[in-house]
Amino acid sequence: MDRLFLDYSEQPYFQFDPPLEQPGDPKEEAALQFHRENPHVLREIVQVCLRVRPKRDHWSINAAFEVVRYNADITTTGRTYKLNNNHRAYYARWIMRDVPALAGFFCTREQGRQPQDYDE
């Protein structure tokens, strides 16, 4: 198969139900709802990242999302699931928190609105 990562049967099975970092955040709750409906997406992202990890100290969650999108497009007949770009930051944080081998693997920004010079 022409895939950028190994099949599930060749990788450890990952079972995640990540707790929310910020309970009450509607964007994070939407990401968690998507995860619960599509847990294979998080496992695929982790698999891709674990394959890249020996070659890189840091990587992009954006790149991992695109690899998973590519793999879904070439291996799925019919309609594939949609990956919402708004979920990327949450996936990165859950993965770094819950997968020790990937701790610190992604660069993240502080969440929430940053104070601006024009704020009082």
pLDDT in tens, 81-104: 678 889 999 999 888 888 889 999
Long-range contacts made by residues 82-85, C-beta under 8 angstroms, separation at least 24? 83/41, 84/30, 84/31, 84/34
Answer with the residue of higher pLDDT: 17 or 105: 105
Is the CB of residue 59 less than 8 Å from the CB of residue 106?
Answer: yes
Please give the C-alpha separations between residue 30 and each of 9, 25, 84, 99, in angstroms, as whole numbers: 29, 9, 10, 21
Which of 40-44, 71-75, 78-82, 107-111 shows the lowest mean pLDDT across its residues? 78-82
Q: What is the pLDDT of residues 15-68, one digit of tens each?
A: 566 666 667 788 888 988 888 888 888 888 999 999 999 999 999 999 999 999
How far CA 31 is from CA of 46, 77, 101, in Å, comes to 16, 25, 22
Q: What is the pLDDT of residue 34?
A: 87
Domain boundaries, the chain: 38-103
pLDDT at position 48 is: 93
Distance separating the N- and C-terminal Cα atoms of the chain: 58
Q: How far apart are CA 96 and CA 57, in angstroms?
A: 13
pLDDT of residue 55: 93
Q: Whole-prediction pTM value?
A: 0.72
Residue 12: what pLDDT?
A: 44
